[in-house]
Amino acid sequence: VDASRPPFFGLRIKPLTSELAPRALKTLKLFLENGGRVPELIVTLPKVVSLEQVSVLVDALDALGATDARVEVMVEAPQLLP
C-alpha cells in the first residue's frame, strides 16, 4: 500500500436525469480515460429516484471497463428503500 495515496478516490457525477445523463456519462468516460481508473475509485450517483438510474451507472462502468469501481448512491426518493 502506498502511504502517499489516499485510501480512496471519488467522483460525484451529475444525476442521471433525462436532462443531465448525457453530461454525467461523458464526465465519467473522460475521467476514466484520463487517469481516473484506480482500484480505490468510488463513483457517487446523486439524487437517485429510480433503480433504473443505478443500473445505467453500473452498465456504464462495465462498458468502460471499471468493473472494480465502487458505487455510492444518494437516494432522493425514500420510497425506493425496502
HEC assignment per residue over 15-39: CCCCCCHHHHHHHHHHHHHHHHCCC
pLDDT value at residue 36: 85
Interhelix angle 51-63/21-31, nearest 10 degrees: 30
List the grid coordinates of 54: 443505478
Sequential pLDDT tens for the chain (82 residues): 567 777 778 999 999 999 999 999 999 999 999 988 888 899 999 999 888 999 999 999 999 999 999 999 998 877 666 6
pTM assigned to the model: 0.85
